[in-house]
Amino acid sequence: MPNWLKNAVFYEIYPQTYYDSNGDGIGDLKGIEEKLDYVKSLGCNAIWLNPIYDSPFKDAGYDVRNYYLVAERYGTNEDAKHLFKTAHEKGIKILLDLVPGHTSDQNEWFIKSKDPKQNEYSGRYIWTDSVWEAPPQYKFVCGVTDRDGNYLVNFFSSQPALNYGFNNITHSAWQKSPADPDCTATVEAMKDVMRFWLDMGCDGFRVDMADSLVKNEDGEKPETCKIWRNIRNMLDKEYPEAAIISEWCNPKVSLGAGFHADFYLDHDDNGYRHLFREKNMKTGECTAIFSKNGKGDITKFLEEYLDDLNETKGKGYISFITCNHDTPRMTRMFTPLEAKIAYSFVFLMPGVPFLYYGDEIGMKYAEGLVSKEGGFSRTGTRTPMQWNNGINKGFSAAPPEKLYLPVDTGADAPTVEEQESDPDSILNTIKKVISVRHKYEDLQSDGDFEVIYAEKGKYPFIFKRGRFIIAVNPTDKEQSAPFEYSCDEPVFSIGEFCIKNNKIIMLPQSIKVMKIN
């Protein structure tokens, strides 16, 4: 386990829309490097970069054309190397986004794989043995190459699936075992990609769709897990300080497979959804736990979370996110104050937390945008960072019509510049809570978590982390609970509260972090 993860706070940067250093309307690596001091000022000591590889950008870079080359729009390999070096000088680690499940159909591997003549890449992707073979339970692209066969894709038609084999073989003519040399060659090729970037200076990888490698595999996905344990063994031997974090959302499986952390994502009826995203599907009313209307149920979250936390203790971390590039921002459903309390909670939980760019100022989800590079409903979460009230909110000097995506031009569009001067802003609140997390080891990744008060359909929620009590009342009504602790003044606070007669009384929309004396 890389020691630096114990006190890591990550900042996710979508490179297209973070900061444009050359005025072409799209963010770039030099722009990110220029903003490293800002990232550090947040208290974030690690960055996750969405894909920066060469790509035709039919899925915003998750369709990789060349794993070994930085996309021209972002700069050069030397720019990446310099970014890693400068970040390290400032005490910041950088994870790249690894996309192991598929490539672009323009990738050289695929161009060679679709050649009718047998070659070393013929089995790098999943092909049927005949153009007339296309079982309907799979997603194939049919009849578009000279090779006599159809190829399996992940997601979009431009993303041919790399071949890691099939756990349950139902079509023996073309489905291969994960132990087949073609499949193990794919694993070795991905290891080489990882070595290339680690040697250049990156600190590890967030792994896209980490659970989707081996096909026809359900449940705990044993063959996919074998692959990741193999890769983890390589990292432990060759790059022991490199981290791998999975997009899996099943920590009991993924951490056992060798990942150092796993994202807690917004999935149907899961704990994260209950915390921040749940709504009544008929009325549209928000019923999330952190909604001010007080219609959430903390026990729905805890039933899932405590089981995962207890099962994974000592094996790795569960990573809470404020949002990510695939998820509508919390401000789509929450007011700025609701979001402020929810974000603060994220940084007070165990595990390795992730702050999505722009959430620290309460950026809004942009409704009604035309899909950009395969973004579709996700496009509204990927708009340019809002630095100031200058041209294009400080994101770029390009004419507005040349921007990758439009900036928020609303009168209430938040900016870094405005919020830096407001002590009660979301920005300064997040800086404070991250600072408290860094200051006290009990509040960091490995710290304990114990529920003190959590009743079905009731508030507040109170929990203990080492020597600290955290009490949360996200509702717009006063709430109270039994409380038998003697505490110092809060080390972090939003809203008001009092303790008397063995009871804590929390005023509306408040959160307190108190050290037990």
Whether residue 118 is contained in a domain is answered as yes
Confidence of residue 231 (pLDDT cuts 50, 70, 90): very high
Which of 384, 412, 441 is where one domain is finished? 441
CA angle in degrees (0–180, nearest 5) for 58-64-65: 95
Q: Does 30 lie in the same domain as 11?
A: yes
Share of the chain above pLDDT 90, in %: 100
Distance of CA 57 to the CA centre of its chain: 20
Q: Does 121 lie in the same domain as 33?
A: no
pTM, to two decimals: 0.98
For the residues 323-343, what does the mean pLDDT come to? 97
Whether residue 265 is contained in a domain is answered as yes
The pair of three-digit structure tokens given for residue 127, joined into one six-digit string: 């092909």
Write down the pLDDT at residue 356: 98
| β-pair partners for 400 | none
Confidence of residue 271 (pLDDT cuts 50, 70, 90): very high
Q: Does 281 lie in the same domain as 205?
A: yes
Q: Does 290 lie in the same domain as 413?
A: yes
The SS3 assignment for 229 reads helix
Position 447, amino acid: G
Pairing of strands 492-494, 53-54: unpaired
Mean per-residue pLDDT over the chain, rounded: 98
Q: Does 302 lie in the same domain as 204?
A: yes
Q: Does 339 lie in the same domain as 287?
A: yes
Whether residue 173 is contained in a domain is answered as no
For the residues 264-288, what does the mean pLDDT come to? 95
Whether residue 168 is contained in a domain is answered as no
Q: What is the pLDDT of residues 343-400, one digit of tens each?
A: 999 999 999 999 999 999 999 999 999 999 999 999 999 999 999 999 999 999 999 9
C-alpha closest to that of 16 among 334, 506, 396: 396
Q: Does 62 lie in the same domain as 27?
A: yes
Q: Are 126 and 161 in contact (CB under 8 A)?
A: yes
Q: In what order do the strands lie in the sheet with 479-482?
A: 479-482, 503-506, 497-500
- Which domain range does residue 118 map to? 102-163
Q: Are 504 and 481 in contact (CB under 8 A)?
A: yes
Tokens 């009544």 belong to residue: 280
Q: If you compute the radius of gyration of the chain from its CA atoms, what whole number of angstroms results?
A: 24
The residues near 52 (Cβ < 8 Å, ≥ 6 apart) are 15, 29, 61, 70, 71, 74, 80, 96, 97
Count of domains in the chain?
Answer: 3
Give alpha helix (H) positions in 36-103: 36-42, 77-89
Q: What is the CATH number of the domain that holds 488?
A: 2.60.40.1180
Q: Does 431 lie in the same domain as 326?
A: yes
The pair of three-digit structure tokens given for residue 388, joined into one six-digit string: 């100031």
Write down the pLDDT at residue 416: 98
Whether residue 309 is contained in a domain is answered as yes
Write down the pLDDT at residue 329: 98
Q: Does 227 lie in the same domain as 108?
A: no
Q: What is the pLDDT of residues 129-188, one digit of tens each?
A: 999 999 999 999 999 999 999 999 999 999 999 999 999 999 999 999 999 999 999 999
Q: What is the CATH number of the domain that holds 154?
A: 3.90.400.10
Whether residue 170 is contained in a domain is answered as no
- CA-to-CA distance for 42 and 40, rounded, in angstroms? 5
Which of 441, 461, 481 is where one domain is finished? 441
Write down the pLDDT at residue 332: 96
Q: What is the pLDDT of residues 442-461, one digit of tens each?
A: 999 999 999 999 999 999 99
- CA-to-CA distance for 201 and 391, rounded, in angstroms? 34
What is the phi-psi region of residue 447: left when phi exceeds 0, alpha when psi lies from -120 to 50, beta otherwise? beta
Q: What is the pLDDT of residues 82-139, one digit of tens each?
A: 999 999 999 999 999 999 999 999 999 999 999 999 999 999 999 999 999 999 999 9
- CA-to-CA distance for 306 and 260, rounded, in angstroms? 18
Q: Does 51 lie in the same domain as 89?
A: yes
Which of 401, 416, 441 is where one domain is finished? 441
Write down the pLDDT at residue 8: 98
Q: What is the CATH number of the domain that holds 219?
A: 3.20.20.80
Q: Does 88 lie in the same domain as 68?
A: yes
Peptide bond into 328 cis (omega under 30): no
The pair of three-digit structure tokens given for residue 484, joined into one six-digit string: 């038998």
CA angle in degrees (0–180, nearest 5) for 223-225-230: 100
For the chain, the maximum distance between any two Cα atoms, rounded to a whole number of angstroms, is 82
For the residues 37-57, what does the mean pLDDT come to? 98
Q: Does 250 lie in the same domain as 211?
A: yes
- CA-to-CA distance for 253 and 414, rounded, in angstroms? 40
Whether residue 177 is contained in a domain is answered as no
Whether residue 176 is contained in a domain is answered as no
